[in-house]
Amino acid sequence: MKEEIDREVVIEDYNTDGRIELTVMVEKDTSVEEWKSNSTATVYIRILDINDNVPTFAHRYYNGTILENSPKSIPVTMDYPEDILAFDLDAFENGTFELTIDGDDGMFYVQPSMIVNSGTIYVRVQDPLKLNYQVLPEVTFTVVATETETVEKWSSNTTVHIQLIDTNDNFPQWLDGSYNVSVLEGVSSGTSVSKVEATDADSGDYGIVYYYIFGSGATQFDMSETTGLMTVAGELDRESVDFYFLTVEARDDKGMGNRNSTTLEVHILDINDNEPIFGSDYYEEFIKEDKNAKPTFRRPFIVDATDADLPPNSDISYYIVTAEYEIITDGNFTINISTGEILTRTPIDFESMDPDTQDSVSPWYRHFELIVMAIDHGIPPLNSTTSVTIYVEDVNDNAPIFESEFYNGTILETDDSGTYITTVKATDADPTLYNSLISYRIVGAGIDKFEVGEKDGNLFVGVGANLDIEQTHTTLYSLNVMAYDDGTPRLSGSTIINITVIDVNNKWPEFNDSIYDAVVVEKSSLMEFIVQTFATDPDETHLLRYRVKSYDEGRDESNTVIIDNAIFDTWFDIDESDGTMFVNDTMVDRELVENIRMTVEVEDVNAVSPWLPQLATAKVYLTVLDINDNPPKFDEDFYTTSVQENIPEQTLLMIIRASDPDKGLNGTVRYKIVEEDDSQWQALVAMDNVTGSGRKIVIDSKTGELRVNGMIDYDCHLCEWINITVMAYDLGTPPLNSTVPIYIAVEDMNDNYPVIWNLPAAVKIWENATLGSEVYLINATDLDSGEFGRIGFKVDDSNSRSFTFEDVESGILLVGAALDRETVASYKVYIEAKDNYLSEFGPSLSISSTLDIVLLDVNDNAPIFDDTIALPFRIKETHDNGSLVGTVSATDADEPNTPNSQVIYYILQDEGNATDYFFIPNEAVGSIRSKSPLIGLYGIYTIVVIAQDLGEPPLNSNLTVTIYVEDVNLNYPVWHYPPTPLANESIRLMEKTLPGETVALVYATDDVDHGVNAEIYYQIADTLDGKYFTISRNNNNNTATIYTQERLLAYSDKKHYNFEVDALDCPGCSDSLQTRTAMRVYAISETAGDPQFDRESADEPYFERREHEEPFKVTLGSLPPAFYEDPEVVSEICYYIVGGDEKSEFGLNVLDEGKEVSLLQEEELDREAIENYELVVKATNCLVVPPGQAWDVDDDSLLLVRVHVVDINDQPVIFSKSNYSAGVTTGSTVNDVVTDQIRASTIDLFPHNIMEYRIVPDSWDNSLNYDYWAEEKRDPFTINNNTGVLLLNHNPRPDASGIFKFVVEARDPPVDLGPHTATADVWVYMLSSNNQVEFVLAMTKDEFRDKEDLFIEILEDVTQATAKVDEVTNYVDEANVVSDIYISVFVHFVQDNEIVPVLTILDIFDENEASLSPLYQEFNVYKIQDRSPRRPPVAKDGQAFVLALIIVSVILPIVIIVLLCIWCKEVKK
């Protein structure tokens, strides 16, 4: 050595790890030049460290701040300088020093407590109780750094000054321990109740107290946040709640700080605000009539009422009153003023009572209706009334009385048994069923010939009775009839009936002749005589009447039976008194009926029996004679036919037919052609269609055959048709005739060819002409007429696919297929024109012609890339800017040397960045070049090259070009684990670990380079402790595993090992690069077992944290440290959160090798996501990272840490629906509930979920049938601020209809992030009772509310209208009894903002009965009906059952007795 060497200077000057590299040359010392030679060798000198440096702080003085009462382990915030730095330039043990604090009275500690070479020092809280701003606002102390592994123990220090920051650490204190107050119920809102007061020792906002009340019923009161004055906010009702137990809370720091609470008892004092309430809305009792004395009830009849108030407000007196509430003292009944017992005051006669009070179901009762009033003794007194019905039972105290003392009757001697004679009737003054039920009986003479109806009093001829006067010689009978009632005892009355027997006539009439023959001429005049019939009757009292009984048969001329006699059954009639037959209708027609057979009948209308008439019949045969009354009639109204020109003579054209229904000569028909002097006939003569000597069309007079009688020529004017008239006439006297027109069409012949004219030499069209576009219009004509002059066009088959005609006759030539100039440039089209082309009328004539069609080029071909291009292209990342990457080329098939085939190139811009690096500088040449430097841009790039022609519009195609930018090794490996510098990372191994044990997994990457340049290999650097370890690269990734190479020493001999690891990329490459990192391995004593927590002596850690409270990253507090059970073990303890932290929202801060540990909040907390955390912390000996683990109370290495997230008002208010609807019937009154379904809520907790409701003032709208605001000066509805119940605030007009629309707002308390508000639309429909459908369901109200949405969905699906549930109540049946089984759901329906009538809805239900099946199944529908008014129910709950039981117990014995009596009577009979 030439001079003193300082290792630390060598490291700094040479940037090495403490080694000096020398090159030593040995040279052969000779004077001969050519013999001289030399050689070199490299010598490495490692400079070993000595302890020649003192631990040093970067600064001599540091300032910091911290909140008073900060939890243990919270770091002090250093203001200047920001970090405390200490270092010792010596290596390993010489550079290891410990840190201590002097002069802080145990308030703080430093972390880490030991540093190797250099490190950042944190000052943390040791004793939070000593951080009291009021006792010690600031503290100054010294941090000392002392070497631990050297003999010298060099040390140094720095001064730290810490300023404490005041916090809110005092709670409000109540002046009184608790509060007890009283207030009258019913006082108005704003009435003062009490004032509370608390003080706070803190100053500023921390010392100002705010007041809040909580508890059940807290919404009934308001408390001033600043004064503590409590006032009434809601309605106080002692009968609902007579006592409130509330909690009053005092808070500092503007209501967000510390809290203290006390109790507040509020007693509600009684006022007389409740009227007496009867036990029932309706009472009834039964009593028997007694017109001689006051009747009594079967048991005491008491109506009682209760009053919810306290005495004397609840003491009650009873009175019977009128409807105007005047007290009644002189009625039939009286009431005990104190007990409410009702007694009779006078005798009661059932028959004297109002018959209208008689019960329709139980008619043996009439009733009295009373009103009983109950009045309390409060001031002012309150009252209520109830209805009382007293049923009076009838008794049998009246005998039957006949309406007449005598009755008379008359019968015929021939009357059969059962013939009705007369009716007797008796009445009974008793109006009830059995007392007034009367039965009749004949007593004494005549019982064998007559019978009387037991129930109805009808008198009949008896069974087997002989009343023949010739046999009985009796014409008068007198009967005694008795009437009996059915009461007990049975009473009776009697009457006399006189009956007279009358003689009868019973002989039959007879005709003189049984058959009469006669004739009549058709169309005879009315009343024309035909024949007279005659009959006789031997009875003196006979009266004969004649009539036509029936028209038996009619036949026509051919002797065919006429099916329908109605044709002739009105032609004739007969004189009913003398039997003369005459004509009754001038329309007698022989052609319809020629022979008629009929039956005439005579009757003795004085016959004894109207149901057994005395009759006789005779036959009349009548012949109708013919007259000439019908002209001949042709078969058709006109005739048409056709004839070709030049047809041969005598050719039959057609046969004309006419018929005449008359008989003989009257029906013989002849034919002739009628002469016509018109212009058409004259033209026919002029053209020689008619010769001078006669017609060319003739007819046979007998047969009607129409024939040609000369040559007919078509080619003349007006010769297309020949029109004639034919007459048919009969041979009757006088003769009759008729005529018919005949139209004969003359047909043309085909004798002319079509002609095509003005056809061009060639036609040019674009090649992209669309299918069906017009090419050219071909014109052709033909001199013939009709089909012979009708021309059709077609294209020769060879080109028929490319071109076609629009239709056969138009001549418009169209494009028939896709054209392509590049495939076929021109066409020669052969066109044929043909007349009579359908060939339905003879031969066709045709000609052909040629048309040349030339296609014009359009730009319809895109450029096509050359498929021989060698892709992909490659270029190195170090390539020069503008270098050629590759060339592409493309061709275009459109017409050469035109813009349609000229190609340009460019790169398509895309969302990637490839176009930032490559471009095509010359658009006419497809050469791709680099656009910018490519360093670090290795990889695969894709660009899209567009080849585009210059046509209009331009067409293009694209080619995807892949470019490989090849990587060049330019970047050093980067360590991920362990990091570099080491930064206190350490590895732990058991002492005396054997070779081959895994030490650590290391990981480095070269993320910038690519391929082999990014492959990482590892080696242990040649350091002092490196001999203990070796490294092996893992397959298929860039990691490596370090193993022990030699056995480690005992813990007492060596506690840690320091060595270095190199990461090399591209091994074996000339440009390989490497990066080195340091490793440290700590030895662990073999005696160190698993650490454990002392859970018995320490409280379970519990922390509270307000959700969303900032800062999000904060220390929540210290945890009790774990320890080794063996006190001799001195080894580090590691901590892990192994359960309850699935979202990694918490962490641990471990200091002093595990002797101190605190819980950290790492993320923002949300109570609505998780309210309570149960974190499982595990303590280990640091050998392995433990897996996830659930809490196990028996595992002492686990610690359960609870964190409660405190709720704040941070969640929105949400209505259960976006809109609500309800209905109000026009019979409703103020304060009636409109709907209780308006609900808003939040998922926050109490008191943040307390809702306040209001109607938005400016939101009112309506579509009523009258001007509401002109009639009313108040809002139509109000809403309960606390419950959201909507109440009616006006009395609707009886004729009101339409809709109210408004908006309801709900909001939560104005604390934290509140208030939050939400709104909902409300529609209220004004309804009459006939606007609502009543659904009676067998279910409870709660069951219905659970499925109400399904109920509405089914109804709306069936009706296609909007269904609105207005009311859900207990069902009231037709007897006005409230059901405890069924409920009534009242619904109205809306369509197009109009109420749908109930009858329309019910009709829809009837038409869609099957669709309602789900409704019946899901909701147990009992009935569906329109809503009708109900009387107040007569009984409730058990009263209905008791009443029914009483009625059954009374009626059933009576019914049994009656049935037994009737049975006994029948047995006696």
Q: Which of 513-527, 693-707, 1117-1131 has the highest mean pLDDT?
A: 513-527
> So what's the pLDDT on residue 480?
92
Closest residue by Cα to residue 972 from 898, 860, 880, 1062: 1062
Which residues are paired to 830 by β-bridges? 850
Name the token pair of 1402.
Answer: 């019910």
> So what's the pLDDT on residue 504?
75
Strand 580-583, strand 529-532: pairing: antiparallel
**Other CB atoms within 10 A of residue 120 CB:** 15
pLDDT at 1436 over 70: no
368 alpha carbon, distance to own chain's centre = 56
Q: How far apart are CA 530 and CA 571, in angstroms?
A: 12
> So what's the pLDDT on residue 926?
87
Q: How far apart are CA 1429 and CA 1329, in angstroms?
A: 7
Using the structure block, give the residue that is written with the tokens 């609505």. 1168
pLDDT at 593 over 70: yes
Q: Is 1140 left (phi over 0), alpha (psi -120 to 50) or beta?
A: left
Q: How far apart are CA 1068 and CA 1050, in angstroms?
A: 39
**Other CB atoms within 10 A of residue 136 CB:** 13
Q: How far is residue 829 from each of residues 647, 770, 794, 815, measured CA to CA in Å?
A: 43, 18, 10, 12
> So what's the pLDDT on residue 680?
44
Sorting pLDDT into bands at 50, 70 and 90, what band is 383? Answer: very high
Cβ-contact 343, 335 below 8 angstroms: yes
As separate numbers, helices (DSSP H) first and strands (DSSP E) second, the chain gives: 9, 105
> So what's the pLDDT on residue 143?
95
> So what's the pLDDT on residue 1377?
87
Q: How far apart are CA 211 and CA 216, in angstroms?
A: 17
CA atoms within 13 A on the CB side of 929: 13
Closest residue by Cα to residue 260 from 248, 245, 250: 250
Instruction: Give percent of the chain with pLDDT exceeding 70.
Output: 93
pLDDT at 1283 over 50: yes
> So what's the pLDDT on residue 301?
92
Q: How far apart are CA 778 and CA 793, in angstroms?
A: 9
Phi then psi for 565, rounded to 5 degrees? -70, -15
Q: How far apart are CA 689 and CA 683, in angstroms?
A: 9
Closest residue by Cα to residue 186 from 245, 222, 246, 234: 234
Sorting pLDDT into bands at 50, 70 and 90, what band is 798? Answer: low
pLDDT at 494 over 50: yes
Run of H or E residues at 1354? helix 1348-1359
Strand 1261-1262, strand 1219-1225: pairing: unpaired
pLDDT (mean) for 582-586: 90
Run of H or E residues at 1417? helix 1413-1419
Cβ-contact 1269, 1322 below 8 angstroms: no
253 alpha carbon, distance to own chain's centre = 49
Q: How far apart are CA 1460 and CA 1469, in angstroms?
A: 14
pLDDT at 984 over 70: no
> So what's the pLDDT on residue 1102?
92
Q: How far is residue 206 from each of residues 169, 202, 1116, measured CA to CA in Å?
A: 9, 5, 22
Cβ-contact 697, 709 below 8 angstroms: yes
Sorting pLDDT into bands at 50, 70 and 90, what band is 895? Answer: confident
DSSP string, 617-666: EEEEEEEEEP-S----EESSS-EEEEEETTPPTT-EEEE--EE--S-GGG
Sorting pLDDT into bands at 50, 70 and 90, what band is 330? Answer: confident
pLDDT at 1445 over 80: no
**Longest C-alpha distance within the chain, in Å?**
206
Q: Is 772 left (phi over 0), alpha (psi -120 to 50) or beta?
A: left
Cβ-contact 621, 517 below 8 angstroms: yes
Inter-axis angle of helices 1348-1359 and 1398-1407, to 10 degrees? 80
pLDDT at 690 over 70: no
Q: How far apart are CA 1042 and CA 1018, in angstroms?
A: 10
**Other CB atoms within 10 A of residue 790 CB:** 18
Indicate the DSSP class of residue 561: B
Coil, strand or helix at 107: coil
pLDDT (mean) for 1044-1055: 82
Phi then psi for 1467, rounded to 5 degrees? -65, -40
CA angle, 402 as apex, 401 and 406 as ends, to 5°? 140
Coil, strand or helix at 402: strand
**CA 819, 820, 823, 825 torsion: positive or negative?**
positive
407-438 pLDDT tens trace: 999 998 778 899 999 999 999 888 877 788 89
Sorting pLDDT into bands at 50, 70 and 90, what band is 68? Answer: confident
Coil, strand or helix at 383: strand
Coil, strand or helix at 129: helix
817-871 pLDDT tens trace: 888 888 888 888 888 888 888 876 678 888 888 888 888 888 888 999 988 888 8
Q: Where are the beta strands (DSSP E) in 1192-1291?
A: 1198-1206, 1214-1215, 1219-1225, 1233-1235, 1240-1241, 1252-1255, 1261-1262, 1277-1279, 1286-1288
Strand 956-966, strand 873-876: pairing: parallel
Q: How far apart are CA 85 and CA 89, in angstroms?
A: 13
pLDDT at 1173 over 90: yes
530-579 pLDDT tens trace: 999 999 887 667 889 999 999 999 998 888 998 888 888 899 999 999 99
pLDDT (mean) for 685-708: 67
DSSP string, 494-516: EEEEEEEEE-------EES-SEE
> So what's the pLDDT on residue 240?
87
> So what's the pLDDT on residue 1256?
94
pLDDT at 29 over 90: no
pLDDT (mean) for 1154-1174: 92
pLDDT (mean) for 1221-1234: 85
Q: Is 640 left (phi over 0), alpha (psi -120 to 50) or beta?
A: beta
1065-1112 pLDDT tens trace: 887 787 788 888 888 887 777 766 778 888 887 788 999 999 998 888
DSSP string, 1069-1097: -TT--EEEEEEEEEEE-TT----B--TTT
pLDDT at 1443 over 60: no
> So what's the pLDDT on residue 170?
81
pLDDT at 694 over 80: no
Q: How far is residue 456 from each of residues 422, 425, 1371, measured CA to CA in Å?
A: 11, 8, 43
Per the document, the length of the chain is: 1469
**Other CB atoms within 10 A of residue 881 CB:** 11
| First CA to last CA distance, the chain | 163
Q: How far apart are CA 287 and CA 346, in angstroms?
A: 13
Name residues whose C-beta falls within 8 Å of residue 1150's C-beta, 6 or more positions apart in sequence. 1133, 1134, 1135, 1156, 1157
> So what's the pLDDT on residue 1223?
85
Q: What is the CA radius of gyration of the chain?
A: 63
Name the token pair of 503.
Answer: 């003689």
Sorting pLDDT into bands at 50, 70 and 90, what band is 1461? Answer: low
Q: What is the mean pLDDT of the chain?
A: 85
> So what's the pLDDT on residue 257?
84
Closest residue by Cα to residue 405 from 431, 425, 435: 425
**For the ranges 720-724, 907-911, 959-963, 1235-1239, which has the lowest average pLDDT?**
907-911
Instruction: Give percent of the chain with pLDDT exceeding 90.
Output: 31
1312-1356 pLDDT tens trace: 888 999 999 998 988 876 788 999 999 998 899 899 989 999 999
Global confidence as pTM:
0.36
Q: Which CB contacts under 8 angstroms, 24+ apart, belong to 846-849?
A: 846/753, 846/754, 847/753, 847/754, 847/755, 847/756, 848/796, 849/756, 849/759
> So what's the pLDDT on residue 1458?
65
> So what's the pLDDT on residue 230?
92
Closest residue by Cα to residue 977 from 1002, 1014, 1006, 999: 1002
pLDDT (mean) for 517-541: 87
Residue 1465: what residue type? K
> So what's the pLDDT on residue 716?
61
